[in-house]
Chains A and B, each alone.
Chain A
């Protein structure tokens, strides 16, 4: 399985600011995914990031709010822009593994005041 790290692991931010979350994988992967997990809730897919193309966003998520970069096969960033308290959540990146299995990073815990 892939080893995935995320930075920062947690942060407290002021509303109106932006935070960029980094996701690093120890092997080359085709697809990387970004999820949001609100407190006590399940995981909601934000977007799929493939290297060399624009990210594909799920319904309810837009590029202006959650811009994503995928400069190579081992790295991706997610920016949460113009944050509000409603953006307080855990943000998780994952990568495709064998078959349809996805492996997840440890998550970034974001609190917006």
Chain B
């Protein structure tokens, strides 16, 4: 079946570095994507989204890149801070569906 997955389950970076978290998806009908951040003991929090008619979207310190050719999504965090330490999930929506499929999650650890 089709799935959404992540390349790296754990990413360790130094404070101030840039972080890149990757997500591969296989559903060609996906047309909307969200990145969520889940801190320890909390529910997932919306970070940024992107539609399939875009290939890049920027927020505050975060950028999402979408490569539809290879079905790849990435989240870039600039100047990573200890408060960015969390598990990051990508979520993918098929066209016309309001039910997301969540990726496996990547644990980002930021060392001061």
Contact = CB atoms under 8 A, between A and B. Distances in A.
- Are A and B associated in one complex? yes
A42 B104 contact: yes
A104 B45 contact: yes
B99 A48 contact: yes
Main secondary structure of the interface of A (DSSP, over half): strand
A107 B32 contact: no
Query: Chain A interface: which size bin?
Result: 20 to 34
Contacts of A31: 98
Contact of B43 (A41, A44, A104): A104
B105 A105 contact: no
A92 B43 contact: yes
Contacts of A64: none
A94 B45 CA distance: 11
A1 B47 CA distance: 12
Contacts of A87: none
Given A31-B98, A100-B32, A101-B34, A42 B93 contact: no
Q: How large is the interface on B (under 10, 10 to 19, 20 to 34, 35 or more residues)?
A: 10 to 19
A102 B103 contact: no
B100 interface: yes
A100 B45 contact: no
Contacts of A105: 43
26 contacts: A4-B43, A31-B98, A33-B99, A41-B104, A41-B105, A42-B89, A42-B102, A42-B103, A42-B104, A42-B105, A43-B89, A43-B102, A44-B102, A92-B44, A94-B43, A96-B98, A99-B32, A100-B32, A100-B93, A101-B49, A105-B43, A106-B41, A106-B42, A107-B42, A107-B43, A109-B41
